Chains A and B, each alone.
Chain A
């Protein structure tokens, strides 16, 4: 059965890979983002790859007025509604340290906007009694690291929100899955120093589809990050504060 998928941050390479996988199964896709011209190219591509429908909708994390039309469009579509959140931003930690005002944007892009959107659409999803939410957080949200803790804190906020939202939505048959990627080969990481074990966006998309099939609550992708983060989470704070990782 074809379902509606709202994809927030559809221009991300990970989002594109998930959209292609969903298109191959004939789903209906709402590609939400800022660069409408470029997303129109994705929409055309996804239709040729099998999507029953692929439409571009304006979405800006900094402009909450952009949320309602997307929700209205999904409501009009009928049937099962799913949401996948990929939108996020990661300015360098040093930039935020020298201009703390940047923090608000990081929190909005990685946490507040998505949370607000999900709260808005929750009644619709509950009323349909099915569907899923894919929330992309990050391994960076598991621990505050010296090199990236503002971004990490926003992701941690999103993780906690998703955990509570999962509890709420599960009661009405909606599944909420938290996705914590390690390093992924996207625009965000291209050319950055110190990348290792970099996964491809299509690997992440495959893990997301598999996680959904198995109704997993929280997944690390690729899977070996489960172990890496287990160890990192176990390091006592008094030692962690001296580490340069």
Chain B
């Protein structure tokens, strides 16, 4: 099968690979394709969906929804289907994916492989919690159905396993009932980190998330906008999908320079009236606010950007986040996108990211100092007993990951048994020694 030899990147556009990509358009074409790790829409920021040392399989054209049972809400679909397509097709029928990450471009395969979480993580757990079975192509090239009953260990390791157990061809997932196409969103300003954490503790809404101004210092440290939402019972109708806009070119780097970001963040903060506001918004624009601007990652210029995302246990979270925010604000490197969220304990596999506590995610343009800063933040995360998210990482070291993922030794043993030759090795697994081969 024809390989595309062009260089390709992760979402952050810092790391890239040119090991060749096969892209089957029909299920049958997989037979002639070289076996390698699968990738979806490459919304992972770093090198999770890259393979320099050989061919990878682009699954985005195997994106068909195959069967749906309205009695149970179980959907079977090919791995390349975008979560936004599932939402668009099913919300009018009263169903939605139970867990939606911040971008609807994520594919079903990518959502399983990264065991993604959404704004309802504290209630719903991760994506893997609704996965019933996975059709997995193993290192011998044949596909089999893997589930909690057939091969529990392989099944769980595939949830959050970053593609290392094999190629997900299709999966059965349980959708959640969705009585409305809208959510009622309440937003209000938060003045400090302490107030932030209190707001999360006090919230009883199914969806909650906070935007945080990572450039604010001194008494404003930790300020932001808290957002909580409930499925609306006021607006029953469904909105037509808004047309998206594209960033067609890569603009110069000053667009996201320090002063511009500080000014933007201040304005963004004041956008919310001091008394707070309530808005009713369509599901898609609530779950995937940035998707309306296709290729917004190009705003960071040619050099790209990093995202640092960690989760911290409840007892160390407040203090650690405080020092992290100080460091970040002092560095002057932060971008507008910074998110704070309370996490529940739900995680589906040994390599899943979440743990009970708080997660902080901050974008950094790839400028001098950013890598050193992120490295310090990762060390702080290790010290605090937290962990970082593999789907976002491009900079961690094997030792840091060993310290954060206690189940890694068992995962390694399993992956080596399933794939002794390392066919499904990715640049991420090679960098972090996730297979333990070296």
What is A's interface to B at a CB cutoff of 8 Å?
11, 13, 35, 37-38, 41-42, 44-45, 48-50, 186-187, 190-192
Beta-carbon contacts of B18-47 to A below 8 Å, as 1s and 0s?
Answer: 000001011110000000000000000000
- Supposing A35-B26, A37-B27 touch, asked if A13 and B65 sit within 8 A by C-beta, the answer is no
Supply 19 A–B pairs (Cβ within 8 Å), ascending by A: A13-B25, A13-B61, A38-B26, A41-B64, A41-B66, A41-B78, A42-B64, A44-B64, A44-B66, A45-B66, A48-B89, A49-B65, A49-B85, A186-B25, A187-B23, A190-B23, A191-B2, A191-B5, A192-B2
Q: Is the CB of A11 within 8 A of B26?
A: yes
Contacting residues, chain B, for A49 (C-beta < 8 A): 65, 85, 89
B286 at interface, CB cutoff 8 A? no
- Supposing A13-B61, A41-B66 touch, asked if A187 and B3 sit within 8 A by C-beta, the answer is no
Q: Is the CB of B27 within 8 A of A38?
A: yes
- A210 vs chain B, min Cβ distance (A): 12
Contacting residues, chain B, for A13 (C-beta < 8 A): 25, 61
Within 8 A of A (CB), among B1-15: 2-5
Determine the residue in chain A with the shortest Cβ distance to B89.
A49
Contacting residues, chain B, for A187 (C-beta < 8 A): 2, 23, 25
Contacting residues, chain A, for B25 (C-beta < 8 A): 11, 13, 186-187
B68 at interface, CB cutoff 8 A? yes
B399 at interface, CB cutoff 8 A? no
- B298 vs chain A, min Cβ distance (A): 16
Contacting residues, chain A, for B85 (C-beta < 8 A): 49
For the complex, count residues of B whose C-beta is within 8 A of A: 19
B67 at interface, CB cutoff 8 A? yes
Beta-carbon contacts of B39-70 to A below 8 Å, as 1s and 0s?
Answer: 00000000000000000000001001111100
Contacting residues, chain A, for B65 (C-beta < 8 A): 44-45, 48-49
- A7 vs chain B, min Cβ distance (A): 15
Contacting residues, chain A, for B64 (C-beta < 8 A): 41-42, 44-45
With the chains together, A201 CA to B65 CA distance in Å? 18
Q: Is the CB of A35 within 8 A of B78?
A: no
With the chains together, A38 CA to B26 CA distance in Å? 6
Beta-carbon contacts of B64-92 to A below 8 Å, as 1s and 0s?
Answer: 11111000000000100000010001100
- A184 vs chain B, min Cβ distance (A): 12
Q: Is the CB of A38 within 8 A of B23?
A: no
- A43 vs chain B, min Cβ distance (A): 9
Tell me the dominant secondary structure on chain B's binding face: mixed
20 further A-B contacts with Cβ under 8 Å, apart from A38-B26, A190-B23, are: A11-B25, A13-B61, A35-B28, A37-B28, A38-B27, A38-B28, A41-B27, A41-B66, A41-B78, A44-B67, A48-B65, A49-B85, A50-B89, A186-B25, A187-B2, A187-B23, A187-B25, A191-B3, A191-B4, A191-B5
With the chains together, A38 CA to B65 CA distance in Å? 12
Determine the residue in chain A with the shortest Cβ distance to B93.
A48
- Supposing A38-B28, A49-B89 touch, asked if A190 and B2 sit within 8 A by C-beta, the answer is yes
Contact of A48 among B5, B61, B68 (CB under 8 A): B68
Determine the residue in chain B with the shortest Cβ distance to A41.
B64
Contact of A190 among B4, B26, B27, B90 (CB under 8 A): B4
With the chains together, A22 CA to B217 CA distance in Å? 53
Contacting residues, chain B, for A37 (C-beta < 8 A): 27-28
- A205 vs chain B, min Cβ distance (A): 14
Determine the residue in chain A with the shortest Cβ distance to B67.
A44
With the chains together, A239 CA to B25 CA distance in Å? 40
With the chains together, A169 CA to B324 CA distance in Å? 70
- A144 vs chain B, min Cβ distance (A): 25
Contacting residues, chain B, for A11 (C-beta < 8 A): 25-26
Contacting residues, chain A, for B67 (C-beta < 8 A): 44
Contacting residues, chain A, for B78 (C-beta < 8 A): 41
- B178 vs chain A, min Cβ distance (A): 15
Determine the residue in chain A with the shortest Cβ distance to B58.
A190
Determine the residue in chain A with the shortest Cβ distance to B62.
A41
- Most chain A beta-carbon neighbours within 10 Å: one of B64, B65, B90: B64
Determine the residue in chain A with the shortest Cβ distance to B20.
A191
Contacting residues, chain A, for B68 (C-beta < 8 A): 48
With the chains together, A49 CA to B89 CA distance in Å? 5
With the chains together, A44 CA to B75 CA distance in Å? 12
- B40 vs chain A, min Cβ distance (A): 16
Beta-carbon contacts of B235-253 to A below 8 Å, as 1s and 0s?
Answer: 0000000000000000000
With the chains together, A212 CA to B23 CA distance in Å? 31
With the chains together, A28 CA to B4 CA distance in Å? 35
With the chains together, A49 CA to B93 CA distance in Å? 10
Determine the residue in chain B with the shortest Cβ distance to A50.
B89
With the chains together, A49 CA to B86 CA distance in Å? 9
* 7 A-B pairs closest in CB distance: A45-B64, A191-B4, A191-B2, A38-B26, A48-B65, A41-B64, A187-B25
- B77 vs chain A, min Cβ distance (A): 8
Contacting residues, chain B, for A45 (C-beta < 8 A): 64-66
Contacting residues, chain A, for B3 (C-beta < 8 A): 191
Contacting residues, chain B, for A48 (C-beta < 8 A): 65, 68, 89-90
- Most chain A beta-carbon neighbours within 10 Å: one of B3, B23, B28: B23
With the chains together, A37 CA to B27 CA distance in Å? 9
- A195 vs chain B, min Cβ distance (A): 9
Determine the residue in chain A with the shortest Cβ distance to B24.
A187
- A202 vs chain B, min Cβ distance (A): 11
With the chains together, A11 CA to B4 CA distance in Å? 20
With the chains together, A49 CA to B92 CA distance in Å? 10
Determine the residue in chain B with the shortest Cβ distance to A49.
B89
Determine the residue in chain A with the shortest Cβ distance to B170.
A41
- Most chain A beta-carbon neighbours within 10 Å: one of B27, B28, B61, B78: B61
With the chains together, A42 CA to B78 CA distance in Å? 11
With the chains together, A213 CA to B27 CA distance in Å? 34
